[in-house]
Amino acid sequence: YKLYDTFQGIISDVRGSDDLTLESYLADAANQSELYLQIANADIDRYDHGGNEAINEKLTHLHYIKSVQARTLLLRIFQEFDNPNKVMEALGVLERFLVRWKVANYATGGQLDRIYSELCSTVFNESDPIEEMRGYLRGKYPSDAEFRAGIENKRVKLNDRTRYMLKRIEEVHYNGNVDRMGDYDIEHIAPRSAYTATRHSAWVTALNTTQATFEQHRDRLGNLTLLESDKNIRASNDPFETKKNEYASSDIAMTRAVGENYDNWNLDTIQERTSELAEVALNIWSL
């Protein structure tokens, strides 16, 4: 609601300036609009091919995490750094901060806006802006205990952010490779319909708990993996022993490991794997 008055004040300052003209101000605004569009579309074209490709993949990850509020900070990052490696380092800091913030379910309103505004106003005047950014965000982001609790005690949303987290766990911890995320579905090891599908009552016996308790655990990270779309369709609500055959031929190392490391699947194994993945996540998304 202050935007119009603020903009009027800027225009008045420009008109009274000996160094700026309205034409140069608007030309700069047009250039920044083009940069903003490239950020929003993950279509940066400012560096060499390899640099652009890596940065656009990182921007796509940030979009999966829902980073719209951070775009003012992203504009400043691209303004400040000509070196794509520096841009990647800064984007990596932001990515790790945001994953923790979202998973721990911190509020995403005015507090984030204030954090990004403070970063834009202060850290880029320092000799090592990225280290300053890292230090500042380290004092703001959820602790290890809060981040772990956000994974171990809560159901995750079945969205691009969760698919992205599984992708990063596959790449960093399992040394796998996920080129095209769209080729893979989020697979529920114990199916969401374990208690409602009439075809396979084996899951009710295997899980050995109430439907209400299972529904509190079915969307935990430990019950999820990535699986090729065609294999996911075939696996569907099959018993775990049958699913393991599909997992064994998956391109995803994390998924193959589920079939190799577990003889059965129940609430205990869901919680065990959730805790293991929480420990992995602490290391991946750490400042």
Task: Give the bridge partners for 186, in sequence order.
Answer: 226
In whole angstroms, what is the distance from residue 287 CA to residue 268 CA?
A: 31
Supply the pLDDT for residue 8: 95
Give the pLDDT of residue 39.
97
Mean pLDDT of 126-149: 96
pLDDT at 12 over 80: yes
What is the pLDDT averaged over residues 143-157?
Answer: 95
pLDDT at residue number 200: 57
Write down the H helix ranges in 16-69: 22-40, 49-65
Q: What is the mean pLDDT of residues 229-233?
A: 87
Residues 6+ apart with CB under 8 A from 103: 142, 147, 150, 151, 156, 281
Inform me whether the pLDDT recorded for 199 exceeds 70. Answer: no
pLDDT at 127: 95
pLDDT, tens digit (0-9, with 9 covering 90-100), for 236-264? 888 999 999 999 999 999 999 999 999 99
The identity of residue 60, as a single letter, is: T
Nearest to 105 by CA among 147, 77, 73: 147
Q: How many CA atoms lie within 13 A of 155 on its CB side?
A: 12
Enumerate residues 6+ apart whose C-beta is below 8 A from 162: 156, 186, 221, 224
75 has pLDDT over 70: yes
Query: In the predicted model, what is the mean pLDDT of residues 96-122?
Result: 92
Beta bridge partners of 188: 224
Residue linked to tokens 């995750």: 156
Report whether pLDDT(198) > 80: no
Helix (H, G, I), strand (E, B) or coil at 196: coil
CB-CB contact of 44 with 56 (8 Å) = yes
DSSP state of 106: -
Q: Which pLDDT value is given to residue 243?
A: 92
Nearest to 228 by CA among 207, 206, 248: 248
Contact 154/105 with Cβ under 8 angstroms?
yes
* Predicted local distance difference test score (pLDDT) of residue 96: 97
| Per-residue pLDDT at 237 | 83
- Sketch the domain layout of the chain as residue ranges: 41-142, 149-284
Q: Is pLDDT at 276 greater than 90 in this prediction?
A: yes
pLDDT (0 to 100) of residue 275: 97
Cα 101 from Cα 83, distance rounded (Å):
28
| Whether pLDDT at 197 is above 90 | no
Strand boundaries in the chain, DSSP class E: 184-188, 224-228
pLDDT of residue 235: 79
Confidence at 107, pLDDT banded by 50, 70, 90: confident
Looking at the chain, the whole-number percentage of residues with pLDDT higher than 70 is 99
Whether 201 shows a pLDDT value over 80: the answer reads: no
Share of the chain above pLDDT 90, in %: 86
pLDDT reading at 111 higher than 60: yes
Cα separation, 226 vs 177, in Å, equals: 12
Which residue reads 């913030």 in tokens? 101
Q: What pLDDT was estimated at residue 173? A: 96
Residues 106-115 have a mean pLDDT of 87
